[in-house]
Structure 1
């Protein structure tokens, strides 16, 4: 037995136990009375096709925390019916994809990443019928829907783990990761990921660092990358991947358009040093993408914080979020010259095959990427507009975090992740924010009175209309969604680049500084005419000289987009 396998199993492989689990999977049989009863039946592929247009996934996405988006029944918790009722808002905004944070049954009753049933909807969110209706209604508006699939781990309350922790005789023991004694030397983000089973650490609600240390000689530990409430699956056990493959097909067969795959670099750990982004994890991820892409017009995007450009390659995940770029974008929007240079070098230096599939964003549901954008920018409206105008027009697939389009701030009086996961601000109602007719499950945004959908709908100069204009430009010009990226140039607090697909040729220019700037646009066709499409101040057409250069004057904290037309164009 190899050293890494000795960490993955508390004991050598138990063929009888594996045969039992595998047989149950293959036959779809009911589990014995003493074992858990989730649906482990195999699910064959039944592709329902797709009503979406080819390339829909190159449009902008909206990330939605269903619990915080819209409540349809007055219980103070957002749900699927509430989200469905707001699809017109997303359609008017111009998004082409909707990413749902976890909607499956879970033990945490909040974020949803502690899954208790991979084939069921969380009861507080609704039913499978509600889910199916959401898919139908979104498709009718040209919007694809993907959802978080939390493949790395389950909840400690998942029936499979409850059975597995009973002891070595459990037929599901090898679905998780065990060690007789706590392995030494492990440190994942400041925590030892091995937890003493008999101490029931999953009942501990605080920081894992505050758990009492097991007594010397304690036996029986399980592995949990993200804390004791979420034990890792053992992906060296074939039945585990078989189960997840069937669960993925369960949703794809219903018409779901794909997945955001959570924490895929952590699927397999080899030892205390080689635990992140191992070759085995990459192989599993590539296999998952092949499974999903076997269906019509489906999409996968991965959370892979260490090497997102690798995971964005077509042969691995096919798309991945650009972790690290988001902070540069936010700092650049505030005039930080070093950050502007980083934005230019990141995009210009990335392989074209990865850059086309990278997932850009400014903020998301995890506090480690930053607070709500309005809070990061300390209310600087001009910088906010510049940040949006930059990432929405860069290569890749941008994801807007719900409420970002109206400048929603964090939830009043809260900190950490709850601060950035507050109810959506639909109206200025100080009690409900238009989110519910009842009592909201969490505090409302601190800037609710001014930054809400109703107020911004009525103001054509609002941030909401700014986002709509940017997405309209993106949707009308294929060069933005799928075109090449070239002539990227950062100079001080200014940035210019070009996007082109066939005859659709655009030039983007940004002045993030607090003073006017003259930018040198280069690499244009000789004599080309630059027709303004979108800019902060009064539009101005430009003409390139015989060498393909054109000077452009931009006011402080402003941007402009021009369409490049042939020299003979009027």
Structure 2
């Protein structure tokens, strides 16, 4: 395909996400840190990734593990200091790696000096840096439910007013209607960009704009609260704010941006990521990882079953509707999701095969892939035997609500947490089979998954048949094929219950990608053009293919048309 303008570098890049608290501890305090990341850069370079996205590293009381920031221009002491950060950027650059940071500006910590001043009184100069409202008939302004349970409104008794927090009460929402707030955020962004970072992952970015009359939401079953998401997701001024951010900051740097945008449709994704829109490069949607949650009485905690045809329709819609209009982010795992091999694959008998299959199916789509730490090893969910072993605020709050308000016993709660809790992704990275999986010489802040003697990076790098090597080879292969970046996507056999198959085509190269999402062999018919075609990728030692493909459990293949 001929391009009249240079292809943006991030369209050929692969991103690796690090949750710093759990990646590598360098000083034995049980908490991962910046020097630990620096010590593992060679590992990331060997894997073949290009961008290292690091979840929040800024000063924070850690009510929500760093997503409650008390100083945007300081490093969390547990993670190190600014010299450590500068060294990380230099060492990454020397290996051809770029650093992406998390931009968390829907809210701050309630310990941020801005909020401390804002709540000091109704006449505070920074009062309107946050969202304050007077009671309505002695009640909060509305009954929206917080993402972390309870109301989004917290009464500040000295002033008699409520402040808004879509998340924890210790995470008050900034008032983006105030131009002074926006200017301060843009100055902060420049501070880090001038330090040499190459991108931003923007946390909950489509929540910045709220309708100022705060209309009531739809009632939520089993509670007296309401769903405010239709009002504060993709709010009235969100595109104006992002275009201003682009104009004031992003357009002056060669960076990549991805927005976390729950609740977006592909049409809305095109508005955020269209190249002529001057907003973001791409967005994270959540349709595929939230699959089935809208059928559960208790949302994700009900852990309702999903079907492959449902999953295929979601992914195909994003692939086809954004083609030529925007850009996709590609992911299975992140710090807020259970491990993909446990959710979408088979984390026991077919753990290796299904982890490789998920890699193949994802990385041959159009978009920028995101690999979450340990995904390349096939790390699995953890099943701690007591709720006391969990650290995530969402899990802790949900457990209390499920027990006190809905009558669940601990056994039922634990089963839900094992399946869907965020701490599944936050157990320490499994480096080797030594104590605490080589993550720390101290006591880890959260327990290590007990399967680390069998699943670890040292073992994986020495085994040419490992999940790690499949990721390394697949990353290299996708970079060698412009059809993966530029081609169209055509879903095949939408209603097939076991096989996810699609064709990529750029006019000169046609690829067939087929993955078996089941633990049984599947006979799958293919068109003549792929019979006898070159096998570019296969997660089994051999491919049984005569007229049709004979796909073994969780087998995935990529064929090039003759």
Q: Using structure 1 for the length normalisation, give the TM-score.
A: 0.77
Match in the other structure for 1:105? 59
1:1-50 alpha-carbon deviations (Å, 9 max, x no partner): xxxxxxxxxxxxxxxxxxxxxxxxxxxxxxxxxxxxxxxxxxxxxxxxxx
1:376-433 alpha-carbon deviations (Å, 9 max, x no partner): 644232333222211122121121111111122345624433343121110112x321
What value does the CA root-mean-square deviation take over the aligned residues? 2.9
Match of 1:194 among 149, 153, 161: 153
- Give the Cα–Cα distance (whole angstroms) in 2 for the partners of residues 427 and 127 of structure 1: 27
**Native 8 Å contact 1:174 1:237 kept in 2:** yes
Match in the other structure for 1:301? 258
2:214 is the alignment partner of 1:268: no
Closer/same/farther in 2, CA of residues 530 and 113 from structure 1, 3 Å limit = same
In the TM superposition, 1:155-166 aligns within 5 A as 155-166=109-120
**Native 8 Å contact 2:144 2:152 kept in 1:** yes
Q: Alpha-carbon deviation of 1:177?
A: 1.0
SS at match of 2:184: helix
- Give the Cα–Cα distance (whole angstroms) in 2 for the partners of residues 483 and 252 of structure 1: 32
Closer/same/farther in 2, CA of residues 229 and 372 from structure 1, 3 Å limit = farther
Closer/same/farther in 2, CA of residues 326 and 68 from structure 1, 3 Å limit = same
Match in the other structure for 1:531? 534
Match in the other structure for 1:384? 355
Closer/same/farther in 2, CA of residues 328 and 176 from structure 1, 3 Å limit = closer
Closer/same/farther in 2, CA of residues 219 and 287 from structure 1, 3 Å limit = same
- Give the Cα–Cα distance (whole angstroms) in 2 for the partners of residues 373 and 105 of structure 1: 33
**Native 8 Å contact 1:104 1:122 kept in 2:** yes
1:173-197 alpha-carbon deviations (Å, 9 max, x no partner): 1111111213134334553211111
Closer/same/farther in 2, CA of residues 481 and 131 from structure 1, 3 Å limit = farther
In the TM superposition, 1:199-218 aligns within 5 A as none
Match in the other structure for 2:241? 284
Instruction: Say how many residue pairs are matched.
Output: 480
- Give the Cα–Cα distance (whole angstroms) in 2 for the partners of residues 336 and 233 of structure 1: 39
- Give the Cα–Cα distance (whole angstroms) in 2 for the partners of residues 327 and 172 of structure 1: 37
Q: Alpha-carbon deviation of 1:529?
A: 6.6
Q: Alpha-carbon deviation of 1:371?
A: 4.7
* Stretch deviating more after TM superposition (227-236 or 512-521): 512-521
SS at match of 1:325: coil
Closer/same/farther in 2, CA of residues 232 and 89 from structure 1, 3 Å limit = same
**Native 8 Å contact 1:496 1:521 kept in 2:** no
Q: Alpha-carbon deviation of 1:553?
A: 4.0
- Give the Cα–Cα distance (whole angstroms) in 1 for the partners of residues 143 and 287 of structure 2: 28
* Structure 1 gap segments, 5+ residues each: 1-52, 200-217, 544-549, 566-570
* Stretch deviating more after TM superposition (288-297 or 132-141): 288-297
* Structure 2 gap segments, 5+ residues each: 1-6, 217-230, 293-304, 391-420
- Give the Cα–Cα distance (whole angstroms) in 2 for the partners of residues 436 and 424 of structure 1: 10
Closer/same/farther in 2, CA of residues 475 and 386 from structure 1, 3 Å limit = same
**Native 8 Å contact 1:308 1:323 kept in 2:** no
- Give the Cα–Cα distance (whole angstroms) in 1 for the partners of residues 307 and 232 of structure 2: 35
Closer/same/farther in 2, CA of residues 538 and 80 from structure 1, 3 Å limit = closer
Closer/same/farther in 2, CA of residues 295 and 485 from structure 1, 3 Å limit = farther
2:21 is the alignment partner of 1:67: yes
Larger CA Rg, structure 1 vs 2: 1
Match in the other structure for 2:408? none
2:373 is the alignment partner of 1:402: yes
Match in the other structure for 2:282? 319
**Native 8 Å contact 1:530 1:541 kept in 2:** no
Match in the other structure for 1:48? none
- Give the Cα–Cα distance (whole angstroms) in 1 for the partners of residues 422 and 40 of structure 2: 24
- Give the Cα–Cα distance (whole angstroms) in 2 for the partners of residues 198 and 145 of structure 1: 42
Closer/same/farther in 2, CA of residues 474 and 290 from structure 1, 3 Å limit = farther
Q: Alpha-carbon deviation of 1:110?
A: 6.3
